[in-house]
Chains A and B, each alone.
Chain A
Amino acid sequence: MSESKENIKIFTLLEVTKSIERTLANRYKSSYWIKAEMNKLNYYPHSGHCYPSLVEKRDGKVIAEIRGVLWKTDYLRINKRFQEILKEPLKDGIKILFLARISYNPTHGLSLIISDIDPSFTLGDLEKEKQETIKRLHKEGVFHKNQQLNFPLLPQRIAIISVETSKGYADFLKIIQNNSWNYKFFLHLFPALLQGDKAAERISHQLERIKKVKHHFDVVAIIRGGGGEVGLSCYNNYELATQIADFPIPVVTGIGHATNETVSEMVAFSNAITPSKLAQFLLQKFHDFSVPVQEAERKLKDKSQRILKDEKTRFHSEIKLFRSLTENVLNTNRSKIANTAASLVQQVRFRFKNEDGVLRDYVFNIGRNSNFSIDQSKLNIIQIKDKLFSKTENQLQQSELILDNIEKNIHNMDPKNVLKRGYSITRFNGKAIKEISEIKPGDLLQTIIFDGVVESTVTKTK
């Protein structure tokens, strides 16, 4: 078939590819168990076949790559087992251990025809990856970061990451919006795919958007439900888990499955498991706020009423006590006054009696003493009278004697008797002449002698 031209052998493309095909078929006769990373599943819905891109990486670089072929029937069988065992469908980015034979086709080239994939290998690998994610988050110190945030007292403004048409979201809304306590929530939906290959990326994107308006929200709720238990391995994605753990406001999850908590749920502030339980969790927070407020209202009412009642009672008993005390004091004082009055009367009587006695004594003494005095005075008077009598008598006798002497003297001194003895008195105009100057010749004089009067006229004076 080959032709020659100037000693050079030339092959057709088909000859070459057929040769390769033959050689490979001879060399690789059986099937082999191969492990590789299925970078892309490349499922073609129309034909139902898959053409996975199989790679091996070292340090993040692709060091080997080959195309795989997974026929429709094999795909359906393997995928079913994957869903049973892994709770995950066959998908991009998983490590697989597969049975394949090497095939070469002149038009389609080299490929590995996959006849079986061991789900337990992938399961182990996913689990390993999950454990590594957990380890890494711990190592980086972000694992508990969201849980260490302060949960708002009232998680009222909720940024919801969900699918509008999902049953889980509907369940959540029903419980939250029809709550019988009239609790008011503000809900805003950030729609995102919640399972499968694209989920991690979509959720991440919405988390970024929420971050931008985080001051409008108290919590983020990731809600999924009704999707069964498959397609959840995206929640073990390191990037998504980190973003949740490191999110500035609490993230709560209700992604609705029971087995094997995913890393995203582990690092979330709280994992309610189902959307309904998440709704109840949020309502419970409202109760936790509302009940103490109602309690406070009741307690305040009760307590203040009791305080007032107690105070009133105390006041009444104070009044009672005051009354009885004052009555006591009044009674005591009253009896004191009565006693004092009585004793005063007694004392007065006693005093009167005493004074009466004293007065009587005085009267008696005065009587006695005055009688005595009078007697004494009488005696004195008598004595004085006697003395007076005797004294006056003496005085009289003496006076009589003196009078007698005076009489004798008077008798002797009587001018008649002097005249008798030859003396005379000459008078002019009735007056006795004692000086010669009193008369002049011619005056008529009277000279009195013992037994008569001589009248004469002055002839001469000398």
Chain B
Amino acid sequence: MSETIKYTEAFEELQNIVLEIEQGEISVDVLSEKVKRAAALIKICKRKLTTTEEDVNQILKELDAPNEGS
């Protein structure tokens, strides 16, 4: 799964799917597709909880930069 989808979006989309399923708006025809999608979103969310990709060296480099980094 690419990082193009952010975890906040993943979380929101997941909540929507759950809501849809809870309200019984999902037919059997799309169920498998939705569940597959939800599983991918859950994976993204769970991974976000237990990993981080920040790089201390990068931050230090930017802190030492003479001008405003951003």
Contacts and interface: CB of A to CB of B under 8 A. Distances in A.
Contacts of B17: 296, 300
A212 B56 contact: no
Interface residues of A, number: 33
A290 B31 CA distance: 23
Contact of B21 (A157, A209, A300): A300
Contacts of A290: 45-46, 49
B21 A186 contact: no
Contacts of A307: 21, 26, 28, 31
Interface string A255-288: 0000000000000000000000000000000100
A293 B14 contact: yes
Contacts of B26: 307
Nearest to A185: B52
A303 B22 contact: yes
A213 B14 contact: no
B28 A293 contact: no
Interface in B1-42: 7-8, 11, 14-15, 17-18, 21-22, 26, 28, 31, 35, 38-39, 42
Contacts of B48: 154, 156
A106 B57 CA distance: 61
Contact of A188 (B18, B42, B49, B59): B59
Interface of A: 152-154, 156-157, 181-186, 188, 209, 212-216, 286, 289-290, 292-293, 295-297, 299-300, 303-304, 307-308, 311
16 contacts: A152-B8, A154-B7, A154-B49, A157-B54, A182-B50, A186-B52, A188-B59, A212-B65, A213-B59, A213-B70, A289-B11, A290-B45, A299-B18, A300-B35, A300-B42, A311-B28
